[in-house]
């Protein structure tokens, strides 16, 4: 499946503005369990097991293209029975051609608010916690054409829709590296 989405990293104030400006009709909690392998890192492939709604999904995302806040990824997934410490190379080879094991490196928990009021767009307002850090993000995942009118509405609220935002996996890995450089986080 090809995933097209606009990602915008938000301040807490912007998060609250968006929370009031849109009608979010669903809320979910999800936990992303992240994995790293040398080959995945070289190819910019992210590997995670997402726990949500009582299921565990092994998800692999391969970059197709990035332009500012727009990210296009090929997403492959498979339901699995739990959260392992290692994703074996045989499974990764089958999913994405990577031939080494991916080792668990940590988790990120997200409270996600969802809005489905815009045609062909799932609008997700996220508050994520990981490694002693909290951040806020808006994701507009869409099918079809770029949701220009929706993005104009968001920009009219004073939010810069062009600023690039690293994905959750990249932000988690950056924070993990900072923690390793500075000692343990609380």
Q: Check which CATH number belongs to the domain holding 112 and give it.
A: 2.40.320.10
pTM: 0.88
8: Cα separation from own chain's centroid: 11
Residue 46 domain-assigned? yes
The predicted-structure confidence for 40-78, as pLDDT tens digits, reads as follows 999 989 999 999 999 999 999 988 776 666 667 788 999
What is the rounded CA–CA span in Å between residue 21 and residue 6?
Answer: 18
What is the rounded CA–CA span in Å between residue 112 and residue 124?
Answer: 6
The predicted-structure confidence for 130-181, as pLDDT tens digits, reads as follows 999 999 999 999 998 999 999 999 999 999 998 878 889 999 999 999 988 8
Residue 109 domain-assigned? yes
pLDDT of residue 183: 64
Domain residue limits at 120: 2-180
Number of domains in the chain: 1
Judged against a pLDDT cut of 50, whether residue 186 lies above it is answered with: no
Pair of tokens at residue 98: 């990577």
Residue 36 domain-assigned? yes
Residue 186 domain-assigned? no
How many distinct helices (H) and strands (E) make up the chain? Answer: 5, 9
Residue 185 domain-assigned? no
């Amino acid at each position: 499946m090809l995933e097209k989405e606009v990602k915008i990293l938000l301040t807490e104030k912007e998060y609250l503005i968006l929370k009031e400006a849109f009608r979010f009709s669903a809320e979910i909690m999800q936990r992303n369990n992240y994995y790293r392998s040398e080959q995945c890192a070289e190819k910019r492939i992210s590997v995670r097991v997402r726990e949500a709604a009582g299921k565990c999904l092994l998800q692999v995302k391969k970059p197709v293209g990035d332009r500012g806040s727009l990210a296009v990824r090929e997403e492959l997934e498979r339901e699995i029975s739990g959260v392992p410490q290692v994703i074996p190379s045989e499974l990764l080879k089958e999913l994405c051609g990577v031939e080494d094991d991916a080792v668990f490196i940590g988790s990120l928990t997200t409270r996600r608010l969802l809005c489905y009021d815009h045609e062909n767009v799932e609008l997700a307002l996220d508050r994520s916690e990981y490694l002693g850090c909290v951040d806020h993000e808006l994701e507009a995942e869409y099918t079809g054409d770029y949701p220009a009118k929706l993005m104009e509405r968001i920009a009219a609220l004073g939010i810069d829709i062009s600023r690039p935002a690293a994905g959750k996996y990249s932000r988690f890995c950056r924070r993990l590296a900072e923690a390793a450089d500075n000692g343990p986080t609380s």
